[in-house]
Amino acid sequence: EVKMSSLAQFGTNHIAKGIGRLTTHVLERGSGSYVYTTEGKKLLDFTMGIGVTNLGHCHPKVTKAAQDQVGKLVHGQVNIAFQEPQLRLIEKLLPIMPDKSLDTFFFWNSGSEAVEASVKLARQATGRQNIIVMQGSYHGRTMGTMAMTRSKTVYSAGFHPLIPGVYASPFPYTHQFHNGNAQDCSDNAIKELEIMLLTQTAPKDTAAIIIETVLGEGGYVPPPPDFLKRVREICDKHGILLILDEVQSGFGRTGKMFAVEHYGVRPDVMVMAKGIANGFPISGIVSRKELMDLQPPGSMGGTYAGNAVACAAGLAVLDAFKEEKVLDNVAARSKQLFDCLHGLQKSEKTGHLIGDVRGLGLMVALEFGGGSKGDNIGGKIGSRVQNKCVEKGMLVLTTSIYDTLRFIPNLLISEEEMSEACEIITESVEEVAR
């Protein structure tokens, strides 16, 4: 048996180097806002496994639901029969869908697979091939989604050729491109999209436009208020489907059940994963029956699709959202975090380092460098602050190419835990500013 103290080295020796890693800690358990390492370290988790364990590590109700399900039925293969937990999960999801037209589901395992399922649906339903994505988007790492991920070249470098028929139009990233002017930024992104449909992929060849409702790995950027509505209008005009990827922004992360509720837009397809089952691998797409019914039986499915234990966990997640007033806590803790970050922005000690503070709910970003103009491509202040935070016992992530930290605490984080985080963030930024 490998000694406890040698496990990290064992991992380095035997796990694919292609997996980049923030730390070499070996996690043993997690509870609420914290994870604990085999070396006895307690770490405040502001990553939640990249926005997955939204109700905290090992939420008791989710754990209990999964344990009970393990004793009843683990694997209920979807091409063979229905299974009760999946049907019950749909029953609970239907009333919280951002639009009543979203009534038919397909479950998968990972976010990437669900994104691919949405593309398959768009192609089948429209009879068209091409897909428009946003620059800065992250949709996954599979052979299909690699072509749709435009946040950083490391995800596709060396893996070309990618699937053809994917076109990228600018996401309205106000701070980077329009000096804080949301209207100019939105106008420009819409114009670029219209130009794309006139110059690169004709509407009759374009099946769907897929957008992360709030840009995730590309910088935690909420779009300007009118952007998605205007994209919806373009889609309606040309018979193009609007797919919203809510893999990272869904399930309470932005203070609403789905981020699209901030914008009052109806997606034709919505992609879900991550927070849906608080750590159990399950993802899915939802669309309207008339579109989903265009898929011939047998064209969709997969061995583990919509696993029964994950579905049972998902049921418990949705119960917890109601019983524990999760969204109320998001609003309160969001304000606390924003107060801290705005304080850093105003402070004489640290203000000169900070370019932008933005986000919705507990999907929050702190962008460094470049002043209000945001010319901070490849900047390193964020990763220096990140290293300080990790040294002080707090896990936190950066985003892709701009110099940005993203904060992804669990949605049930307490006031004290948020204060602890704010102290660590403040100290870390101050130390880097010195």
φ and ψ of 341, to 5 deg: -70, -40
- Find the shortest distance in angstroms from Cβ 138 to ligand PMP: 5
Secondary structure tally for the chain: helices H, strands E: 14, 15
Looking at residue 196, its amino acid is M
- The 8 Å CB, 24+ separation contacts for 194-203 are 194/234, 196/132, 196/167, 196/169, 197/234, 197/238, 200/167, 201/130, 201/132, 201/165, 201/167, 203/238, 203/239, 203/240
- Find the shortest distance in angstroms from Cβ 26 to ligand PMP: 22
- Find the shortest distance in angstroms from Cβ 111 to ligand PMP: 2
Nearer to ligand PMP, 114 or 344 (CB): 114
C-alpha–C-alpha distance, residues 225 and 223, integer Å: 6
User: Which residue's Cβ has the minimum distance to ligand PMP?
Assistant: 111
Residues 6+ apart with CB under 8 A from 302: 78, 108, 109, 113
**Sign of dihedral through CA atoms 182, 397, 362, 372?**
negative
The tokens of 335 are what? 């304000």
Q: Which helix (H) or strand (E) holds 130?
A: strand 130-134
Nearer to ligand PMP, 245 or 268 (CB): 245
Nearer to ligand PMP, 395 or 424 (CB): 395
Nearer to ligand PMP, 109 or 350 (CB): 109
- Find the shortest distance in angstroms from Cβ 376 to ligand PMP: 22
Nearer to ligand PMP, 350 or 386 (CB): 386
- The 8 Å CB, 24+ separation contacts for 18-26 are 22/47, 22/386, 22/390, 22/395, 22/397, 23/390, 23/395
Nearer to ligand PMP, 115 or 381 (CB): 115
Nearer to ligand PMP, 268 or 417 (CB): 268
C-alpha–C-alpha distance, residues 154 and 391, integer Å: 26
- Find the shortest distance in angstroms from Cβ 142 to ligand PMP: 7
Q: Backbone dihedral region of 52: left (phi > 0), alpha (psi from -120 to 50 degrees) or beta?
A: alpha
Q: Give strand pairing partners of 404.
A: 367
- Find the shortest distance in angstroms from Cβ 183 to ligand PMP: 25
CA quadruple 252, 257, 260, 264: dihedral, nearest 10: -140
C-alpha–C-alpha distance, residues 426 and 184, integer Å: 33
φ and ψ of 3, to 5 deg: -65, 145
Nearer to ligand PMP, 62 or 134 (CB): 134
DSSP per-residue letters across 3-28: -GGGHHHHHHHHS-TTS--S----EE
- Find the shortest distance in angstroms from Cβ 114 to ligand PMP: 8
- Find the shortest distance in angstroms from Cβ 216 to ligand PMP: 4
- Find the shortest distance in angstroms from Cβ 243 to ligand PMP: 11
Peptide bond into 409 cis (omega under 30): no
- Find the shortest distance in angstroms from Cβ 408 to ligand PMP: 10
Nearer to ligand PMP, 232 or 253 (CB): 253
Binding interface with ligand PMP (CB under 6 A):
50, 110-112, 115, 138-140, 212, 216-217, 245, 247-248, 273
C-alpha–C-alpha distance, residues 401 and 377, integer Å: 6
- Cβ–Cβ under 8 Å, residues 218 and 171: yes
Nearer to ligand PMP, 247 or 340 (CB): 247
- Find the shortest distance in angstroms from Cβ 2 to ligand PMP: 28
Nearer to ligand PMP, 55 or 134 (CB): 134
Tokens 């990618």 locate to: 162
- Cβ–Cβ under 8 Å, residues 399 and 389: no
